[in-house]
Amino acid sequence: MSDLQGLMKEFEEYKARGLKLDLSRGKPSGDVLDLSNGMLDGLDTYLSEDGTDIRNYGVLAGLPECKRMFSDLLGVPAEQMILGGNSSLSHMYTVFGLLWNFGIGGSTPWVREANVKILCPVPGYDRHFALTEDFGAEMIPVPMTADGPDMNVVEKLAAEDASVKGIWCVPLYSNPEGVVYSEETVRRLARMKTADPHFRIFEDNAYGVHHIFEEHRVTNILTCAREAGNPDRVFYYFSTSKITFPGGGISLVTSSPANVKEVLAHIGKQTIGYDKITQMRTVKLFGGSADAIRAHMKNIAALLRPRFELVLKYLDSEFAENGIVRYRAPMGGYFVSIDVPDGCASRVVALAKEAGVVLTGAGATWPYGKDPRDSNIRIAPTYPTLGELDTTMRILCLCIRIAAAEKA
């Protein structure tokens, strides 16, 4: 029997088991969600610290005690924060929409520009790309390095072409590679010369406190941009989706005082005030303390770490020596990104599906869903149980070996 025949025999055995496993979306598992069940308890007051009745309309930017807690956690000023509903993506969509339709700080609305190009570090987050595509902006891929986006490429593109309007960044534990932007990367982003004076950085700090192995910090780009004389360049996002509940959390956007004022004026046309009851529940769960959130994240990491270790154990034992798969061990966050041999990612995803394992679609980590080398696959290990993850990784490794053998 040839090697490939042997692998296919094993594959058929898995297929016959009729498994239903999912490694596709970065969702918290039940055991992680359970750590925040205090969110479901009743509140003993409906008055915020300044006497606001949280059951009623109002307080557009969010409760002071909640903003203070996030300010302590993230080192961003409370008075420049807008807390929102349970999705930071929604805040991103709103700000992108404002830039598109109205402009911010006197910028020409992008809808009136002949070309709008947005830099997209790759591999990257599919929903950033979907949002950008929704408005019809052109996405320009920029390679990632171990220190963040390749800044030589970013600086050149931004300096040469005034239709390059912005960049997506996930500075801490990037999705999907788990890369931490170096201080040099952050400073270069904040100070670089741009052909469009209104160039924007969409700083999505979704994993800002999501340490898995050890704690890494990222330089505060809002401070750097202000010091570099570009205070209005950065819109910074965060949410509690992966801290408490994605289905019942809080999002946050912050920027310069001028930007926040302008954004808030528009948000005031969308809502008379977001859900302050969830804000109060979150404050109560953590006693208003950023340190309590940090301790809670350690408990989450204790549940997630074995899942990441399992994935890395399989990748190391199956591929470290033969080099079939290239990967960077993530420094934290929610994902593991792998590169299988060129032209094999779609085949791996299709094979895994046949064997009952749903993977994120090949190409999802690239703009327009098109990975030119058809090699990148995003693994989301947070949702399955360890037992399910073990079976899933066996099947994934088998599918990779089959696809690589077929290619060879």
Ligand X SMILES: Cc1ncc(COP(=O)(O)O)c(C=O)c1O
Under the rule (CB under 6 A), what is the footprint of ligand X? 26, 87-89, 125, 170, 175, 204, 206, 239, 241, 246, 251
Nearest distance from C-beta of residue 275 to ligand X, angstroms: 14
Q: Minimum CB separation from ligand X for residue 297, in Å? A: 16
Extract the tokens encoding 238: 């965060």
SS3 category, 235: strand
* 194 vs 239 by CB, closer to ligand X: 239
User: Smallest gap, in angstroms, from Cβ of residue 170 to ligand X?
Assistant: 5
Minimum gap (Å) between residue 227 Cβ and ligand X: 26
Backbone φ, ψ for residue 117 (5° rounding):
-115, 135
Q: Which residues of 19-58 are buried (b: 16+ CB within 10 A; e: fewer)?
A: eebbbbebbbbeebbebbeebeeeeeeeebeeebebeeee
Query: In this structure, how many other beta carbons lie within 10 angstroms of the beta carbon of residue 66?
Result: 27
CB of residue 333 to ligand X, shortest distance in Å: 8
Reported residue count of the chain is: 408
Report whether the peptide linkage leading into residue 123 is cis, meaning its omega lies within 30 degrees of zero: yes
Taking alpha carbons only, the member of 17, 15, 27 closest to residue 352 is 15
Nearer residue to ligand X within complex by CB, 236 or 319 = 236
Side-chain half-sphere exposure of 132, counting CA atoms within 13 A = 25
Closer to ligand X by CB, 103 or 246: give it. Answer: 246
Distance of CA 287 to the CA centre of its chain: 27
Instruction: State which residue, 52 or 87, has the beta carbon closest to ligand X.
Output: 87
Residue closer to ligand X (CB basis): 186 or 398:
186
Query: What secondary structure letter does DSSP report for 211?
Result: B
Buried b vs exposed e over 262-273: b needs ≥16 C-beta within 10 Å?
Answer: bbeeebeeeeeb
β-strands 251-254, 81-83 pairing? antiparallel
Residue 175 CB, nearest approach to ligand X (Å): 4
CB nearer to ligand X: pick between 98 and 206: 206
User: Minimum distance between the CB of residue 22 and ligand X, rounded to whole angstroms?
Assistant: 15
- Based on CB atoms, which residue is closest to ligand X, 26 or 341? 26
- E strand or H helix that includes residue 404: helix 386-407
